Amino acid sequence: MSFNSVLKIFLPHDKVFYILFEQVTTTLEQMAILLKEGVNQSQPDKRREIFRQIADQEHTNDDTTHKIFVELGQNFITPFDREDIHFLASTLDDIADFIHGSSKRMTMYKINLPDDGISKLCEVIYKATIELKRAVHELRYMRNLRVITEACIKINSLENQADDLYDTMVARLFEDEKDAVKVIKLKETLQSLETATDKCEDAANVLESIIIKYA
């Protein structure tokens, strides 16, 4: 008997959503830690191994996201609106996709690492995943909505930081780099990382709208 089946017997049915969303945000945080480690790693072999672990985690996350959709199809009672569960799961999955996609792109484009701008953006992504995890782990209790609101405000501010970092890095790139193909490669990588923080903001917006309905 699987762990999940046991859960289903002993737990009220809607609890399963909290558990699955908590799993997703825990995986996202781990992916962000690996991303930070990978981009700061100067040895290509070690970096490749770290990025391979990101791919594994992305796979794990796909499975968890799929489970959320299956539960959504089977459970009549859900802890919050079905559409919000659907949208939150999709948005969190997007974050995993962009973290994984960025790591893949850096390898394929043979980006020179460590790179100061990339490291800074990965730090912002990491901080945003911590806040997402905090907010999602509070959903279960809904005792302290302020925790969720504050996490969402921090994520919004982190997204602004990522925006500014992206703009500054690209402006610098335009000044310093004369090889246009290198400009394109690095700009694409920075953009992909910046989009990961956009997706964190999207997730924060879903969380905010869940709270608005609940309040």
Give contact residues for a second copy (rule: CB under 8 A): 69, 72-73, 82-83, 86, 90, 101, 104-105, 108-109, 163, 167-168, 170-171, 174, 177-178, 180-181, 183-185, 187-188, 205, 208-209, 211-213, 215
Q: In whole angstroms, how close is the CB of 49 to a second copy at the nearest point?
A: 20
Residue 169, class by beta-carbon neighbours within 10 Å (0-12 exposed, 13-18 middle, 19+ buried)? buried
Q: Which is nearer to a second copy, 19 or 72 (CB)?
A: 72
Q: Which is nearer to a second copy, 6 or 153 (CB)?
A: 153
Q: In whole angstroms, how close is the CB of 153 to a second copy at the nearest point?
A: 10
Q: In whole angstroms, how close is the CB of 58 to a second copy at the nearest point?
A: 11
Q: Using alpha carbons, select from 22, 20, 29 the residue that is nearest to residue 69.
A: 20
Q: Which is nearer to a second copy, 106 or 130 (CB)?
A: 106
**Contacts of residue 163, Cβ cutoff 8 Å, sequence gap at least 6:** 194, 197
Taking the C-alpha atoms of residue 162 and residue 196, their distance in angstroms, rounded to an integer, is: 10
Taking the C-alpha atoms of residue 121 and residue 208, their distance in angstroms, rounded to an integer, is: 24
Q: In whole angstroms, how close is the CB of 75 to a second copy at the nearest point?
A: 10
Q: In whole angstroms, how close is the CB of 168 to a second copy at the nearest point?
A: 8
Report how far Cα 65 is from the mean position of its chain's Cα atoms. 13
Q: Using alpha carbons, select from 70, 81, 83, 204 the residue that is nearest to residue 136.
A: 204
Q: Using alpha carbons, select from 139, 158, 161, 155 the residue that is nearest to residue 205.
A: 155
Q: Which is nearer to a second copy, 22 or 62 (CB)?
A: 62
Q: Which is nearer to a second copy, 26 or 205 (CB)?
A: 205
